[in-house]
Structure 1
Amino acid sequence: MNLLLLVRLRKSPDEIAKGLALGVLVGMTPTFGFQMIIAVFLAFLLRENRIAALVGVWVTNPLTAPIIYALEYESGRLLLGMEHARLPAEFSFAAFKSLGFEVLLPLSVGSIIYGFLCASLTYALTLRLIPIVKTIRISRWPRPRRPF
């Protein structure tokens, strides 16, 4: 459905590709729950295609988010030379506050790297694929004919 929506947009492949890449960039950040709002806001500010940005955000969904965030966390942790975050022995606000930094910093570093990498790939692939896909005839749902 999302591909169909992108193909039927009456925009240039460059406009669609930039909007989709922006959405993928935002989708790779650890802002789960706010990604659609952030993507529309940035697309509005940068004057990019808002619909394509919304579609791109769905790169992280309930099925892919655990895998993507785990990969980003591990990559960020390795780049920063940090140890694995350990669950605190006590359940206090201060203990979870320190745990948040141990998780959020590597996750943010990893999301920046993977976000720009995936957004660049998305832009390049979309720019080349949209003209090809637009030539394919996609029929609409059959509608019952009304008698005159």
Structure 2
Amino acid sequence: MNLLLLVRLRKSPDEIAKGLALGVLVGMTPTFGFQMVIAVFLAFLLRENRIAALVGVWVTNPLTAPIIYALEYESGRLLLGLDRASLPTEFSFTAFKDLGFDVLLPLSVGGLIYGFLCAALAYALTLRLIPIVKTMRIRRWPRPRRPF
């Protein structure tokens, strides 16, 4: 469905690829729940394709998000030289605020690194694949004939 939506856009492959790359970049950041709003806002500001940006955000969905965020957290943690965050022993606002920082900082660093890498890859692949896919003949769903 998403690929079909991208192919049917009446934009150049470069415009579609830029929008998709922007969406993938936003999708890889730890802004789950606000990613679509952020992607549309940035696409509007940068004058990129908003529909392609929305499609790109779906790189993180409920099935892929746990894997992507775990990989980003571990990579960011290793790059920053931090220990793994552990659950607090007391239930206070300060304990959870500190836990949030211990998780959010490595997750953000890893998210930006993977975001830029995946956005560059998405741009390059989309730029090459859109012209190929647009030349393919995609059959429509058969419609029942109405009697006269």
TM tier, smaller: over 0.9
List runs of 5+ in structure 2 lacking aligned partners. none
Aligned partner of 1:121 in structure 2 is: 121
Matched residues, number: 148
Q: Is 2:38 the counterpart of 1:38?
A: yes
Aligned partner of 1:51 in structure 2 is: 51
Instruction: State the shift of 1:144 in Å.
Output: 2.4
| Identical counterparts, % of pairs | 90
Aligned partner of 1:100 in structure 2 is: 100
Aligned partner of 1:111 in structure 2 is: 111
Aligned partner of 2:15 in structure 1 is: 15
Distance 2:132 2:82 in 1: 45
List runs of 5+ in structure 1 lacking aligned partners. none
SS at match of 2:111: helix
Structure 1, residues 34-84: CA drift from partner, whole Å, max 9, x if none?
Answer: 000000111111111111000000000000000000000000000000000
Structure 1, residues 18-38: CA drift from partner, whole Å, max 9, x if none?
Answer: 000000000000000000000
SS at match of 2:103: helix
Aligned partner of 1:139 in structure 2 is: 139
Distance 1:87 1:111 in 2: 22
Aligned partner of 1:79 in structure 2 is: 79
Distance 1:9 1:140 in 2: 16
Return structure 1 stretches of 4+ with deviation > 6 angstroms. Answer: none
* Amino acid corresponding to residue 133 of structure 1 in structure 2: V
Aligned partner of 2:90 in structure 1 is: 90
Instruction: State the shift of 1:147 in Å.
Output: 4.3
Distance 1:146 1:134 in 2: 30
Distance 1:27 1:135 in 2: 29
Aligned partner of 2:63 in structure 1 is: 63
TM-score (norm 1): 0.98
Distance 2:137 2:47 in 1: 29
